[in-house]
């Protein structure tokens, strides 16, 4: 790529395209102006596309966020609980099959308000990470989440979820135990839960395994959290046929909090302490729980039916498409 230098300040994933477009532009400009041939339309289109490419932010941002979001010392669900919910009572089991350590769920008091809190727990030490499957939940994890969410609904407690997972656990037992159905049903339960709900992506929002705990009235993201339909590595392996292209895939997927806020898919970005959340667990937890508190206070002012209507409409509106005009 050395011989052709792309416009500066461009994300790497767009460099290849920019180079291709510049070459084409040169070709078009060199072509003799034949009668009846008009290239101005294509030239204009290419120039517009180049302009939009130049507006992209710095190439390293997305990949840095991925690294920070996965940082081993980043605060996890149990750290938030330790700092903000002194009376937390952890509940266990899905009443069907088992108790999944990748999902922590329980009851407690946040700023004087009784809540249910459910979150992924990746684990810090190697031992804990293994015990908790690196935060990758099995069906019993999602079923525990649903059970506790329903319990909260019965007693009128708002539900707060903390999302931090590479994805749902990819294993034979999980698949045979109904992983897909568990995720789908978790999405369904959270979409109709009658109590106020707030979800915060605190680290890695990995695909369906994250979404299963991330359907809520308000969805927040920490500044360096990421949230994506597929891991950058998985995307790179499929589309670039090379997992090493993950940084490019990370940019292309628009998975940072800033990108997703711009796309209107999350409601708010919560700033992290200098250098990242791992530098100060207490400060991070305070900031997150402060925003959760404010959001719950606002949501509680709405009637149940109104809140459910707004939540449903929000999800039914999601998507970008065009309408073809009749020929």
Partner 1 sequence: MARYVTVQVTRKEPPTGAAPAEHCKKCQLPLSKEGLEQSWQVCPHCGYHYPLRAALRLALLADSGSVTFIGEELRPTDPLEFFDLRPYTERLAEAQLETGLTEALVAARCSIAGRPVALGVMDFGFMGGSMGSVVGERFHRLARLAVEEAMPLVVVASSGGARMQEGLLSLMQMAKTVAAAEIVSEAGLPYIAILTHPTTGGVFASFATVADLILAEPGAVMQFAGTRVIEQTTREKLPPDFGSSEKQLVHGQIDLVVDRRELKARLTQCLDLLVGGRVADAGGGEAGG
Tokens of 21: 């477009």
From candidates 28, 96, 192, 310, binder to partner 1 by CB under 8 A: 192
CB-based burial of residue 236 (10 Å sphere; 0-12 exposed, 13-18 middle, 19+ buried)?
Answer: buried
Q: Which is nearer to partner 1, 89 or 316 (CB)?
A: 316
User: Does residue 177 bind partner 1 (CB under 8 A)?
Assistant: yes
CA angle 103, 105, 107 (to 5 degrees): 170
User: Does residue 253 bind partner 1 (CB under 8 A)?
Assistant: yes
What string of DSSP letters covers 203-262?
EEEEHHHHHTT--SSEEEEETT-EEESS-HHHHIIIIIS-GGGHHHHHHHTT-BHHHHHH
Tallying the residues shown for the chain, one arrives at: 327
From candidates 121, 179, 224, 291, binder to partner 1 by CB under 8 A: 179
User: Does residue 77 bind partner 1 (CB under 8 A)?
Assistant: no
CA-based Rg of the chain, rounded to a whole angstrom? 23
Beta bridge partners of 163: 201
From candidates 86, 181, 271, 275, binder to partner 1 by CB under 8 A: 181
Query: What is the footprint of partner 1 within residues 291-320 (CB under 8 A)?
Result: 312, 315-316, 318-320
Instruction: Give the containing element (helix H, strand E) for 161.
Output: strand 159-165
User: Does residue 249 bind partner 1 (CB under 8 A)?
Assistant: yes
The strand ranges marked E within 24-149 are 89-91, 103-110, 113-120
User: Does residue 96 bind partner 1 (CB under 8 A)?
Assistant: no
From candidates 28, 96, 238, 310, binder to partner 1 by CB under 8 A: 238
Quote the least distance from Cβ 258 to partner 1, whole Å: 13
Q: Which is nearer to partner 1, 29 or 241 (CB)?
A: 241
Q: Which is nearer to partner 1, 191 or 279 (CB)?
A: 191
CB 136 within 8 A of CB 186: no
d(CA 21, CA 24) in angstroms, rounded, equals 5
d(CA 308, CA 125) in angstroms, rounded, equals 40
Binding window for partner 1 (CB under 8 A); candidates: 98-106, 109-117, 246-254, 267-275: 246-254
Query: What is the footprint of partner 1 within residues 262-281 (CB under 8 A)?
Result: 263, 265
User: Does residue 37 bind partner 1 (CB under 8 A)?
Assistant: no
Quote the least distance from Cβ 113 to partner 1, whole Å: 26
Q: Which is nearer to partner 1, 108 or 177 (CB)?
A: 177
Tokens of 24: 């084409």
Q: Which is nearer to partner 1, 79 or 217 (CB)?
A: 217
Beta bridge partners of 104: 119
Total Cβ atoms within 10 A of residue 130: 11
User: Does residue 323 bind partner 1 (CB under 8 A)?
Assistant: yes
User: Does residue 233 bind partner 1 (CB under 8 A)?
Assistant: yes
Instruction: Give the containing element (helix H, strand E) for 270.
Output: strand 268-270
Query: What is the footprint of partner 1 within residues 11-30 (CB under 8 A)?
Result: 13-14, 16-17
Binding window for partner 1 (CB under 8 A); candidates: 144-152, 156-164, 211-219, 282-290: 211-219
The distance between the two most distant Cα atoms of the chain, rounded to a whole number of Å, is 81
From candidates 46, 61, 184, 283, binder to partner 1 by CB under 8 A: 184
Residues that bind partner 1 (CB under 8 A): 13-14, 16-17, 52, 167-172, 174-181, 183-185, 187-188, 191-192, 207-208, 211-212, 215, 227-231, 233-235, 237-241, 243-244, 246, 248-249, 252-255, 260, 263, 265, 312, 315-316, 318-324, 326
């Amino acid at each position: 790529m050395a011989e052709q230098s792309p416009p500066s300040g461009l994300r790497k994933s767009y460099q290849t395209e920019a180079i291709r477009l510049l070459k084409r532009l040169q070709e078009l400009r060199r072509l003799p102006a034949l009668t009846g041939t008009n290239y101005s339309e294509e030239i204009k289109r290419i120039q517009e596309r180049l302009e939009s490419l130049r507006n992209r932010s710095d190439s390293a941002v997305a990949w840095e966020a991925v690294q920070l979001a996965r940082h081993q010392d980043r605060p996890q669900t149990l750290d938030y609980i330790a700092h903000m919910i002194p009376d937390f009572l952890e509940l266990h089991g899905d009443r069907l099959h088992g108790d999944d350590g990748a999902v922590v769920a329980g009851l407690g008091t946040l700023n004087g308000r009784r809540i249910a809190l459910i979150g992924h727990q990746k684990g810090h030490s190697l031992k804990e990470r293994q015990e908790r499957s690196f935060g990758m939940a099995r069906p019993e994890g999602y079923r525990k989440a649903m059970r506790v969410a329903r319990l909260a609904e019965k007693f009128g407690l708002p539900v707060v979820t903390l999302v931090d997972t590479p994805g749902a656990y990819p294993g034979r037992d999980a698949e045979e135990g109904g992983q897909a159905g568990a995720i789908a049903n978790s999405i369904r339960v959270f979409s109709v839960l009658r109590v106020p709900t707030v979800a915060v992506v605190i680290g890695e929002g990995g695909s369906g395994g994250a979404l299963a705990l991330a359907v809520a009235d308000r969805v927040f993201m920490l500044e360096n959290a990421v949230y994506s339909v597929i891991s950058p590595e998985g995307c790179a392996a499929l589309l670039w046929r090379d997992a090493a292209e993950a940084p490019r895939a990370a940019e292309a997927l628009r998975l940072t909090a800033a990108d997703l806020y711009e796309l209107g898919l999350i409601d708010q970005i919560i700033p992290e302490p200098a250098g990242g959340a791992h530098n100060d667990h207490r400060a991070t937890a305070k900031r997150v729980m402060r925003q959760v508190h404010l959001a719950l206070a606002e949501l509680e002012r709405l009637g149940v039916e109104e809140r459910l209507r707004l939540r449903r409409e929000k999800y039914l509106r999601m998507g970008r498409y065009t309408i073809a005009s009749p020929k």
